[in-house]
Structure 1
Amino acid sequence: MPSPVPPPESPVVAEGLTKTFRRAGHSPVRAVDDVSLTARTGAVTAITGPSGSGKTTLLQLLAGLERPDAGRVHVGGVELTRLGERRLAAVRRQRIGFVFQAFNLMPSLSARDNITLPVELDGRAVDEDRLAQLAERLGIADRLDHLPSELSGGQQQRVAVARAVLADPAVVFADEPTGALDRHAATALLDLLGGLAHDHGLTLVVVTHDPGVAAWADDVLAMDEGRLAGAAAVQPALP
C-alpha cells in the first residue's frame, strides 16, 4: 500500500520523531524525543532553543540527513523515512535545499559552479534564466566567476542560498544561517530569505538560537531537552 500523502499546504510533516545517540561508555542521549510538527507553504518556521536542545538533530531528521529511530517525515508528499539510501539522496537533490552555517562551498569551484553542482549531479540541465534571476535577487550576479576565497562571508552565504533554491525545492532547511554573519549582513540575508518565502511560496525551516531570527519568522517552535514546548508545536495526524 502506498504511503499516505500529506495535504499540499503542509510540505513538511513529521510525526513522532525520536533519535537517540549511543556511545560506548556513555549513557544514551535522546536528542529528539517524540516530536511532531508541520511547516506551512510560503512561511518561515523557526525552531529555537539553547545549545544541546536537539534542534539541529531535528533539522537533520526533517531533511533526511539523519535517520530517526522512530517516527515519520514527509517532504513534498514523499515519506523520507521509507526510502533507501539511493532514492533518499535523489529526493534530497530534487525536493530539499539545505543551507549550512559553515556554507560548505567547494573551494576549487567558482560561485556559479557551486550553485549549479547539485542540479548537475542530478543529471539535469541548469535553468540559466532562474540562475540569473536568483543571482540578481541575491546581489551576487557580478561574483559568479569568483572562487569562495574571493568572496565575503555574506556573499558566500548568498551563494549557499542560491545553491539551495536553484532546483526549486519543496522546502529549504537552514542551520543557523546568520551565525557566521555580522548584524548588517544577517539582516540583509533574512530579508532575502523572507522575500523568497513570501513572494515565491518557498517553505523555509530555520534552526536558530538568535531571538532576532525567531522574531522575524512567521511560526516559532521552541525546543528543550529534545521536545517541542508550548502551543507552537503543531501535532499532525498522519493516517
Structure 2
Amino acid sequence: MCTRFVYHGNDMITGFNFDIDLSVWKHKVIMDEERFYIGILRPDRTYHSYHGVNKNGNVGTLLYVHGNPGGEYQASPDCMTIADLAEEFIKGQITFDDALQLVRDKKITYAPDATMQALLSDIHGRVLIIEPGLGYREEHKKYSLITNYSLIDPESTKNYIVPGDDRYERALQLLDCCGNDFSVSNAYTLLHAVRQEGAWATRVSFVYSAKEQAVYYVENNRFEHITKYVFP
C-alpha cells in the first residue's frame, strides 16, 4: 500500500509513502551521486531501484494494484515489464519522452511475481501514469495523485478497495487546498496524514524538491527525524 503525488507550484515537489510488509520484501535506502532510491532485494541478490529519484529530476515509483489478466507477464520482445521501465527511468537510462514512446510502442506488463502500476514524473512536472493491461495517461497539471487502485478504469479495482482505506480522498482534499507556495513541509503534512501502520506500515517517506535538488526522507514513520540528501 503506497501513496504518490506530484505538485507543480513555484517548486516541483513530489512525495511518496512506501508501505510494505517486511515479511514479504526486504529493502534499504540507498544514495549515490546519481540516485536516491529505496532498494528492493530481488532473487538476483541486487537491491533494485523501483522507487526513487535521479539527479536529473526523474522520479519513478511502483505501487501495488490488484492485477488484471491483460497485464500478465509475457516473455516477448514486444513486451516490457513495468518494473524494468520504472528502473530504467530512475537510473536515467531513458527520458520522459523515451518512456512515453515505450508505452506507445510496447505492451507493458507486470513483473513475473508482482502486479504493480507506476507513476513517472520529470523535473518539469510532466507525469506518466502506467497501468499494465489498462493503458497509460499523460498529465501536466497542478497536481497528480495515485494510490493502489486504478485511475484509468476505477471499476476494475473497486471490489478490492480495503475497507476504510480513504488515503486517496484525504490526500486529494489536502492537495485541493494548496497554492503555488506548496512546500516540502506541506508535502510532509500530507504524507503524515496518510501514513500506514501495522503489517503494511509506512517504512520510508520521501519528498523531492526540484528547486533544491534535494530529497528529504524519514524511515518507519519517524516524521520528527527528517534527513536531507542533496545531490552533489
TM-score bin (small chain): 0.3 to 0.5
* Greater per-residue helix proportion: 1
- After TM superposition, the score normalised by the length of structure 2 is 0.34
TM-score, normalised with respect to structure 1: 0.33
